[in-house]
């Protein structure tokens, strides 16, 4: 690997993980701060990552019959208030429009913090018969939540996301949809983002406002804090009743459909940074990288080098890879540092000696491993190296997860483990919210999920000593 990297551009994660993260966001040209406090600009390179995520996820949604729609960004206050739990949950984060031009509005309009209300209002007008069900909708948009503390990708006052909303004839169908979309997220994290997850159900205290049940995929970051990756919610028919959404059933009676919603956001980019990044910058899984391969000509001023490098770029592009060449007059050291900072998964180097030997050099971003390949084997070798990057990132992240899940039998033990090791602390739990609050107050950890894969760690709750009902994961989360 090149020795003259500009590693001074970013703080070492061991020194200050939060500053390391912010440095990467800006130096890798993912985001820039906007003039409005708490808002960020998603720069072309950051947006290209999001576009790649969108394309993959959108294709998966459409395989299961979901259609994209677009709902208005403004929600009348009266509409938002129809379902009490939702408005209570989001009211502190709502941004309001009170003027239209120079005239005061008769009713305040909220910038959407989420769109359940708008979908329900729409369905109340267009749904008539069971024959029209299920309605499987999704939208790609931004939402506004007036967060007090912000950080790029992880928490901002405006963020980009997809929000799926569906209605079904029966509760069983809606519950199956909720679980199917959770599994879709888990597959995306593991197979595309190379981030292993823990799947489970949120507690009553932590579930989405207005939902009957919320399911989540939880991730482990390199600093051993946890991150909620995506959520899927089952609403039952509560929203349908609140908003008058009905249909004529098979028995010719009016019935209420059963509803779900599920969402993932640009927070996934933050997850990728914190799960895979290093002190040289961003490390991107090949499947979402805007540039999968960067071709760097060595001693490009010498005859034939630029032409040879251009030929490699053209061949890799024809093979279906996202590839660029850097033929600028910057030094080789600067170029290596730049594309490592930007997380490009694979570097291809070719110079006069390589041309003479009929070879080129491939360098993996995740571990710096160099491979010399014959020119005629380039396409196959590049594909193999990209797969090794993808697999290597997942295996390293899986090891980080597995090595940071610790059992505890008391709050004191859980607190000590978190302070010393971080990660997920798993305990038995009675299900009482008072014990959930106790763990937060005394150990500084929130409940992350009740994992689907249950274990028996004992018979009593770690917080109160009463009989336990389930095993639960706790953690310090972003």
In a domain, 395, yes or no: no
Domain termination site, one of 276, 309, 340? 276
pLDDT of residue 2: 38
In a domain, 4, yes or no: no
Pairing of strands 405-407, 424-429: parallel
Asked if 307 and 271 sit in the same domain, the reply is no
Q: How far apart are CA 171 and CA 379, in angstroms?
A: 50
Asked if 27 and 108 sit in the same domain, the reply is yes
Asked if 121 and 62 sit in the same domain, the reply is yes
In a domain, 283, yes or no: no
Q: What is the CATH number of the domain that holds 470?
A: 3.30.110.30
Pairing of strands 247-248, 226-236: unpaired
Domain termination site, one of 344, 361, 390? 390
Asked if 191 and 303 sit in the same domain, the reply is no
In a domain, 284, yes or no: no
pLDDT of residue 9: 78
Residues in contact with 110: Cβ distance below 8 Å, sequence separation at least 6, in sequence order: 74, 75, 76, 77, 80, 94, 95, 96, 97
Angle, CA of 132, 135 and 141, to the nearest 5°? 150
pLDDT of residue 8: 62
The boundaries of the domain holding residue 367 are 293-390
Asked if 23 and 63 sit in the same domain, the reply is yes
Asked if 198 and 52 sit in the same domain, the reply is yes
Asked if 412 and 375 sit in the same domain, the reply is no
Asked if 164 and 63 sit in the same domain, the reply is yes
Asked if 32 and 106 sit in the same domain, the reply is yes
Asked if 169 and 70 sit in the same domain, the reply is yes
Asked if 162 and 90 sit in the same domain, the reply is yes
Asked if 451 and 309 sit in the same domain, the reply is no
Number of domains making up the chain: 3
The one-digit pLDDT tens for each residue of the chain (478 residues) are 334 444 467 999 999 999 999 999 999 999 999 999 999 999 999 999 999 999 999 999 999 999 999 999 999 999 998 887 887 888 889 999 999 999 999 999 999 999 999 999 999 999 999 999 999 999 999 999 999 999 999 999 999 999 999 999 999 999 999 999 999 999 999 999 999 999 999 999 999 999 999 999 999 999 999 999 999 999 999 999 999 999 999 999 999 999 999 999 999 999 999 999 999 999 999 999 999 999 999 999 999 999 999 999 999 999 999 999 999 999 999 999 999 999 999 999 999 999 999 999 999 999 999 999 999 999 999 999 999 999 999 999 999 999 999 999 999 999 999 999 999 999 999 999 999 999 999 999 999 999 999 999 999 999 999 999 999 999 999 9
In a domain, 196, yes or no: yes
In a domain, 288, yes or no: no
In a domain, 179, yes or no: yes
pLDDT of residue 271: 98
* CA quadruple 74, 76, 82, 85: dihedral sign: positive
Q: What is the CATH number of the domain that holds 254?
A: 3.30.930.10
Domain termination site, one of 328, 359, 390? 390
Q: How far apart are CA 38 and CA 169, in angstroms?
A: 41
Q: What is the pLDDT of residues 251-286, one digit of tens each?
A: 999 999 999 999 999 999 999 999 999 999 999 999
- Number of Cβ atoms within 10 Å of the Cβ of 176: 14
pLDDT of residue 145: 96
Q: What is the CATH number of the domain that holds 318?
A: 3.40.50.800
In a domain, 439, yes or no: yes
């Amino acid at each position: 690997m090149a020795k003259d990297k500009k590693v001074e551009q970013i703080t070492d994660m061991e020194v200050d993980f939060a500053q390391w993260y912010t440095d990467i966001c800006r130096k890798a040209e993912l985001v820039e701060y906007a003039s409005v406090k708490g808002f960020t600009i998603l720069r072309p390179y950051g947006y290209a990552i999001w576009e790649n995520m969108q394309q993959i996820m959108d294709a998966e949604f459409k395989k299961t019959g979901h259609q994209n729609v677009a709902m208005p960004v403004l929600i009348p206050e009266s509409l938002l208030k129809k379902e009490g739990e939702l408005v209570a949950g989001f009211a502190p984060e709502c941004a309001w429009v009170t003027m239209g031009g120079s005239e005061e509005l008769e009713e305040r309009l909220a910038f959407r913090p989420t769109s359940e209300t708008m979908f329900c209002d729409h369905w109340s007008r267009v749904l008539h018969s069971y024959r029209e069900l299920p309605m499987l909708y999704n939208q790609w948009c931004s939402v506004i939540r007036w967060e007090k503390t912000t950080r790029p990708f992880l928490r901002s006052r405006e963020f980009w996301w997809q929000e799926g909303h569906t209605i079904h004839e029966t509760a069983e169908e809606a519950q199956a949809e909720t679980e199917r979309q959770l599994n879709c997220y888990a597959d995306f994290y593991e197979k595309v983002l190379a981030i292993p997850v823990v799947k489970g159900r949120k507690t009553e205290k932590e579930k989405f406002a207005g939902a009957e049940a919320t399911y989540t995929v939880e991730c482990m970051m390199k600093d051993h804090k946890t991150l909620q990756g995506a959520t899927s919610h089952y609403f039952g028919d509560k929203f349908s009743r609140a908003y008058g959404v009905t249909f004529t059933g098979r028995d010719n009676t009016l019935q209420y459909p059963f509803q779900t919603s599920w969402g993932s956001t640009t927070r996934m980019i933050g997850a990728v940074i914190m799960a895979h990044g290093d002190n040289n910058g961003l490390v991107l899984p090949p499947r979402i990288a805007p540039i999968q391969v960067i071709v760097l000509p060595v001693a490009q001023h010498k005859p034939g080098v630029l032409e040879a490098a251009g030929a490699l770029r053209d061949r890799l592009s024809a093979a279906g890879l996202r590839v660029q060449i850097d033929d600028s007059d910057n030094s080789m050291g600067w170029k290596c540092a730049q594309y490592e900072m930007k997380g490009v998964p694979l570097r291809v180097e070719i110079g006069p000696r390589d041309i003479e030997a009929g070879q080129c050099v491939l360098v993996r971003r995740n571990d710096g491993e160099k491979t010399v390949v014959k020119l005629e084997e380039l396409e196959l070798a590049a594909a193999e190296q990209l797969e090794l990057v993808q697999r290597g990132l997942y295996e390293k992240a899986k090891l980080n997860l597995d090595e940071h899940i610790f059992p505890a039998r008391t709050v004191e033990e859980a607190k000590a483990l978190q302070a010393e090791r971080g990660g997920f602390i798993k305990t038995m739990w009675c299900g009482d919210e008072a014990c959930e609050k106790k763990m937060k107050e005394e150990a500084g950890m929130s409940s992350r999920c009740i994992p689907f894969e249950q274990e028996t760690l004992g018979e009593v709750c770690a917080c109160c000593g009463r009989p336990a009902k389930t095993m639960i994961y706790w953690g310090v989360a972003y």
